[in-house]
A and B are shown apart, each in its own frame.
Chain A
Amino acid sequence: MTRNGIPREIEEQLDKTNVTPSRREFLRNAGMFAATFSAAGAAGSFVPEAKAQTAAVVSSDGAGPYPDPDFRQVDSWIVIHQDDTATFYVGKTDCGQGTGTAFRQIMSDELDFPYDRTTCIMGSTDITVDQGGSGGSTAMERDSWPMRRVAAEARRVLLEMAATRLDVPVDRLTVKEGVITETADPSKHVTYGQLVGGKRFNVAVKGNNINVITGVAAVKPVQALRNVGQSPQRYDIPAKVDGSLKWAVDVKLPGMVHARNVKPPFAGAKLISIDESSVRNMTGFVKVVSKGNYVAVVCEREEQAINASRRLKVRWEKPATAPFPSSEDLFQYMRSATPTAVLKPVVVGNPDAAFAAAATVIEADYDIPYQGHTAFSPAHALADPSNGLMTIYTNDMKSYGMRAGVATFLGMPRDKVRVIWMEGPQGFGRTAADDAGFEAAYLAKEIGRPVRIQWMRDEETAWDTKAPAFTVKVRGGLDASGNLVAYEYHGRAADHNHVGYNEPDTVLIAQLMGSRRAKPASGSSEIPAEMYAIPNRRMSRDVVSLPLVWETPVRTGNLRDPNGPQSTFAAESFIDELAAAAKTDPVEFRMKLLTASTTDDASFRRARSIAVVKAAAEAYGWDSRPQPRPVASGDVLTGRGFAYAFRGQTIAAEIAEVEVNRRTGHVWVKRLVCAHDCGLVINPEALRHTVECAMLHSLSRALYEEVQFDTEKVTSVDWVSHPSLRHADAPARIDVVLLNGDPNPNRSDLPPYGGGETACKPLLAAVANAIFDATGVRLRRVPFRDARVLAALKATRV
């Protein structure tokens, strides 16, 4: 263990730069921690006296407390070392999309420092500022801005230091790659390391919240960025392929024990009794911990805890009424349920009159089941209760939120809890509603030893947070010329009591213990973004609830692009249905509805949409014709489908080419194309990879994924009962085209928009549209497993 109270190998990995003194000492001695206990500090104003007070109450290393690093100090973000290397500390986490690499690129650009001499540290609440961790594709769009502005300010300050050192005015200095030179006399130069290496900047920036902080310096025009737009390899990958990376699952502490949960076997079950004698004599047994309906077994070794959790005899009482309909009956139930929340509709023009006057009216219902996160590794965390503090090692993508949530949950002061973020599987929203960290902390406090907990596969697949099921009704009216003149969309989501981020009163252990909030969250549903200029339209949405609201495995939370794949599946499938009704090529049909107007919104989404739709069609080699194609002979039918969407300011158009086996119903997506515009691209290669994987994640949702349940429990609990995309499903070819469709492509302030999630959105519809093109059969219920496709083909005699 280090003086910082964590294993040395973990500290070296967290802070590879060997800052002397330690990172926390570095911040503390300069009074760089924010005054979290001061009302003035909490309100956001800068109070030097309070800072000094904070510094005074900080005790020795390892013992805490752990106040927040002050985001208004340059030193909280950037440290320059004597050997002319730099460490960037950011309040983010990286779920595998390479955002850490991108932060290094953009910060080294603003700092004018060599990229390959930088390191990025993220997500540990005691040594990095709180940017909330990751989520919502905000890494570049929102969170790179304070990083850029602080780095620009650091550069400005370094130039001033150099001017003093070299006795030359700033305007006669040139800075390149961390070396400042007198322009007229290159023999006079000084490096960043010589100026501030190992020392503090002691420079404050201003701003009431972390997202708006700024110094005096302006950020560079995008044309001056050198690392941005390049594709350095992701720095995290080598340790992931040679086995040397220490993940959150890998942390070992002296004296640690292992825990496993014992979940109720039926949703809504009530604990009657526990027979501890069933496990008391097992080797390594430590304790059974239970409160309310929460039960866990703790043992010395991991396999002992697994065995004991299986052997522990617990009596449960089933609830008097069924917690939910079976997944077979889900959509019938949802359609007839009374909404728990009705959201304000969007109405433009006069849809009723337009429908009455339309030459052709069609309508369709689309059903998307609950789909789980089913992270590759089940939830896990290790909590250390030493010294009356709580340190949690976790892959929680919002580690800062976990810190606040656990402090409230345990009734501990916030600055006595620290959360150390380490790498883990995926993210995608599941680890922002992270149950295991709360459980580990609770058990550690109960046992008084470090506790590592991990869920089992069946537990994770059954009880993780789910994307809500949707049932969507869409209606459209065409005039005699095939123009879309009336449109109606109603999206209904089973999303009542949607679980938020690391909330101490909605996290599963709190629900099971009975310490939950009084009022469930109302949840949300979704209407499609206003992509098309349809003159008369009504778009409405509401939310329904399953009978059981609390302590249920069928609980909803955010899953990558929350609600986007569901609503876009319906909306973009239906646009194709309308195109088919109008006997028009579906890309042409969309282009007619895409009226470019720079007044639509500030980021020119329609103008950029036109560019993206065209780029996708061109990259694919799209030939214009109405769909479906005449059904071919032979066992394998081929077709192609198009769909497009935007999420926030980012636009993606996707084309799927499919082979449908007429005998088996099996669908293989042979080729995928995505044209993608997210403004300024930081690392094209990492973005392409992210887009590829986002499309394939949605492909897995399109073809395979569904949470299944009977009327008392989830029955899809492993990789057989809950299938996922596999190697055999991988397309033979994927093309990702990154473009900048801004009406002024050379603007110097081109911002980066979100890159992580938009590509998830259109893919389900693109696949359904391709299956329609190949077979003439319209699939309106996800997923398109072989049996469902085959039944649909047979029903229409294809």
Chain B
Amino acid sequence: MEIIVTGVLLGGTYALIALGLTLQYGVARIMNLATGETFLAACFLAFWLFTAYAVNPFWGLAVIAPLAFVANWAIYLFLLQPLVNRAKDEAMLEVDTILATFGLLFLVQGLLLRTFGGAYMSYTFLAERFELFGSQYGLNRVVAFLAALLIAAALYVFLYRTRYGTAMRAVAGNPHSAHLVGIDVARMAGLAFALGGAITACGGTLLSTFYTFDASMGVVFTIKALIIVIMGGVGDVRGAAIAAVILGVTETAIASLVDPGLTLASTYALFTLVLLFRPQGIFGTRRS
């Protein structure tokens, strides 16, 4: 039972990085391999704000999220849009964006290493015990989960109840048709990419309150985000959230019951199962 709750709490935070990537891949069609770095950079930034200026991470969100929004917007505009424009077909674009975001991954990782060194970081914030269903959990995990829930809900409202959000969903479903009904696809893509980055950064900020991290962890986060997005069905927001929770629970279960060093193995086991039996993911539609 403890495992399930811990897993769900963890999964909730993973959900944000997956939601961010879903926006970036589903709408902007960019498989952003650097998403883990945005996540991690947010961790470090939150850490720095807390330890150097005693800024509560939740206030930190108000700084980090807009920063990530602007940074990702710039990345899309200067780095990725030229690739979109020159790609002759989707396969070429995929390869180009993979390589470009890969380059970004290493660049950011290198900068993080330079700035913060290679040591493991963590900070104590809301570390008091919180009782839930008869067991003790860190208050920070619970609060982070609730915050993630709020952000995800806000995203849902944005996507399903506002004009911009609906336009984004239209672009994700069929960019050509969206263009025909007058939606500025390029602008929506850029907006989605920036928004995705902001949400990912929120996830990172929240995770930093209870997780120990180091500068080389970005790739692991990217891999988890990618796998969650694929498991949930590419472009589907509900699927990503559910898949994130499944991953969180599985990972916690393997770490507690079998071996904490096999977390990646459990992730891959899930991934392989999805690829073999349902490659379109939980909510995905089979693209012919």
The answer to whether A and B come from one shared complex is no
Binding site for A on B (CB under 8 A): none
Binding site for B on A (CB under 8 A): none
